[in-house]
Amino acid sequence: MDTKYQNKFIPITVFLLSVFLFGVALMSCFEKKLDYDEDSVSYFHNVPEISERAVRMCKNLQRYYIYFANFNLKDATFKLEEIDSYLKLLEKYGVENFNDYNQGPIPDIDADSVAPESFYSIDVTKYPPAYLRKIKLELSELVTNYRTIEEYLSVNNDFHFFVKDLNKNKILGSNSEDFQDEKSYEKIDETDTIFDISFNGRILSEYFTDANVNCIISIPYTVSPDIKYYIDSVKTSIAYNKAFSSGALTFCLVFAGTLLLILLWIFKHRQLMAINKQLYNSFAVLPLFVKVPVMVFLGAFVIQQYLYRGPIITDYFRTQQNLILVIYFFVCSVVVLYTFLFLEHIFKIIKKPILIFEEKEFEYIETFFEDLKIVKTLKRPFITFILIALTICLVINVIAMYAVLLGVNLLFRTLLVYSVMLINLVILGVMYNFLESEIKLRYYINGLAEKRIDSIPYQKGLFSSTINKVNTINENITSAMNEKLKSERMKTDLITNVSHDLKTPLTSIISYVDILKHMNIENEQEREYIDIIKTKATRLKILIDDLFEASKLSSGQLTLEKRESNIVSLIEQTMGELEERIEKSNIDFVMKLPKTPVILNIDGQKMWRVFDNLINNIIKYSPSDSRAYITMEENENSVNIIFKNVANYAMDFDNEELFERFKRGDRARSTEGSGLGLSIAKNIVELHDGSMDITTDGDLFKISVTLPKQNV
């Protein structure tokens, strides 16, 4: 080892040794003197391991000598065999239940009130098989418990016991040949507090008192190795406790640590100052929000350990938890060293107060005030939310700090809780920006939904990318919607204008055609041409009217004039108006309508248009000499009207396509129609808050119209 390294090693070693001595002295201040010594120790009460085994012994003695006092294992075994034979006999003859026997009450096992011998004194012929099986099970458990307790008492070497019946002045049992005269560490009887425990619903000592039985338990010198180990451990603990709880030891440790520092100051002054400077510089770089809370926790740790001190070192030595004891010594040494550095830091600040402004917290505060300017752009609810969030965080930290002061295993809980608090302090810087962006996001989304704003200003900073993406989506949707609305508006205007412009000349054409038809035209071919013009013009007028109405429906300009109407009469009226066409089509309409009126709040004229379209479709697309069905089903909240017919063509299309404008089931377009009828009908039904559905099955075509009743 070179001289330079040796010059550093010796001062560091001496310094650390002095700190360790101060730490051990601090820990000795926490050591409480035991309430007993080698002359007053009670192994039954002061050693938990012995106390636990003694309680178990007391319970087994009660079970064996009181509860099983009159229990005869031989009779019980014989009764079990008798019950088993009787059950096999009943099973052989197929007897399971019978009622002509006296069914007496079946006793349950109850350590307080039922004697176990009552279970093998029963007459098996008086009980049905189900009860006998239950008694067999309970008696079998009693036999097992009795044998287990008997074996436990016979092989137990932890304690010696002596049980005597005072009424008969008779010794009931003992596992010692000379219990009264043998040497023992300690003896207790049934009056000892070790018997004051609850057992089977009663205090254990009451069993012995009520039975007038004297029970004594001792720890003999010939005790088992386990109990001997615990006794020797307690004796060792008493010796350790005398040393560590002594004030003289604390004084000697402090004196020795101080003496080492004085010697180091005298002989190694420069090295000692270098060690102190290096340690202080490492301490000074810690932020104030770390230094102060750590000091508070360490102070709370010291106060807690002193106020609620116990035989800590003694317990660790007795249970051989040497690693935890070493950690405890180390923590106390750290407390001493950290306290010294903290006091040195306070002393320097007192001498030069300007040093406080060099702490990192002042840089954080300056940045925080700059960030607060963002709050001015937000509404008050956001500020309230921020304050609530910070308050909750503060409360959590206060509760955690309070838990540190109250909890057991204070060292580990302190480290854990402080780590959580430190993480909270770190995320507070991020929380502000996150909450600001979250509140802004919700504010702008609500503004867009409520149409209070049209666009979102471009955002900068942390967590702002989502807001900017929402704004981009909003701009794209707005642009697409505007284009679509513009296109729909142009389409609607075009249809409306064209329909309006075509109506006037078409009306004139129809009028002049009617005039021509009433003229005496003798040429047959000319009259035929006039009829064709009349037919085509009428079809064109229907098409224009449908276009005009479809345009009004799509633009939302069509309004309903609702009145209470009988939907049954409306269907029958529609059928009556189309009677001539129905007769020509040779289609047999089967109607299943309610006999009583069904009143709905509807626009009768518009709903007539729906039924007219649907019935006309049946007439146009059904084969001659076929059947069509119109049925009405009335539910609690709605009315369902079903139109069914067989189509005269292959239905190889999607059902929903028929609701599209200009879509026709007849792809060859050989029938009259604009392709707008079902679309118009569906829109009218939906204006009534109803629905229209199409289903097909082979060539069966079904349309279901559902209208709500709540409008009545």
Pick from 77-86, 245-254, 317-326, 616-625: least confident: 317-326
Residue 377 identity: T
User: Which two tokens mark 334?
Assistant: 């750290």
At 149 the pLDDT is 93
**Tokens standing for 525?**
């071919």
What local confidence, expressed as pLDDT, does residue 99 receive?
Answer: 46
In tens, the pLDDT along 641-650 reads 999 888 876 6
Q: How far is CA 169 from CA 72, 161, 164, 257, 258, in A?
A: 22, 17, 7, 68, 70
The rounded percent of the chain whose pLDDT value lies above 70 is 72
Residue 1's pLDDT is 44
Site of tokens 């451990």: 233
**Separation between Cα atoms, residue 644 and residue 631, nearest integer Å:** 9
> How far is the C-alpha of 351 from the C-alpha of 491, rounded, in Å?
87
Backbone CA torsion sign across 35, 40, 45, 47:
positive
Mean pLDDT of 548-557: 58
Q: Given a cut of 80, is residue 414 above it in pLDDT?
A: no
Range with the poorest average pLDDT among 2-6, 13-17, 303-307, 561-565: 2-6
At residue 576, does pLDDT exceed 70? yes
Of 18-22, 516-520, 627-631, 681-685, minimum mean pLDDT range: 516-520
Lowest mean pLDDT among 324-333, 601-610, 649-658, 667-676: 667-676
Scanning 407-520, the segments in alpha helix (DSSP H) are: 410-449, 465-517
Tens of pLDDT, residue by residue over 494-522, are 656 665 566 667 677 777 677 777 777 77
pLDDT band at 215 (very low <50, low <70, confident <90, very high): very high
Residue 56 has pLDDT above 90, yes or no: yes
Q: How do strand 627-634 and strand 588-592 relate by DSSP bridges?
A: parallel
Which phi-psi region, left, alpha or beta, contains residue 627 (left: φ > 0; alpha: ψ -120 to 50)? beta
C-alpha span between 77 and 480 (Å, rounded): 93
Q: Is 655 left (phi over 0), alpha (psi -120 to 50) or beta?
A: alpha
End-to-end CA distance of the chain: 106
Neighbours of 53 (CB within 10 A): 19
- Indicate whether 679 pLDDT > 90: no
190-194, 388-392, 500-504, 596-600: least confidently modelled range: 500-504
Q: Check whether 335 has a pLDDT greater than 70.
A: yes
Which of 112-121, 160-169, 180-189, 673-682 has the weakest average pLDDT? 673-682
Give the distance between the most distant pair of CA atoms in the chain: 156
Answer whether 635's CB lies under 8 Å from 595's CB. no
Cβ proximity of 581 and 572 under 8 Å: no
Average pLDDT over residues 522-526: 74
Cα–Cα dist 429/434, whole Å: 9
The mean per-residue pLDDT over the stretch 562-572 comes to 87
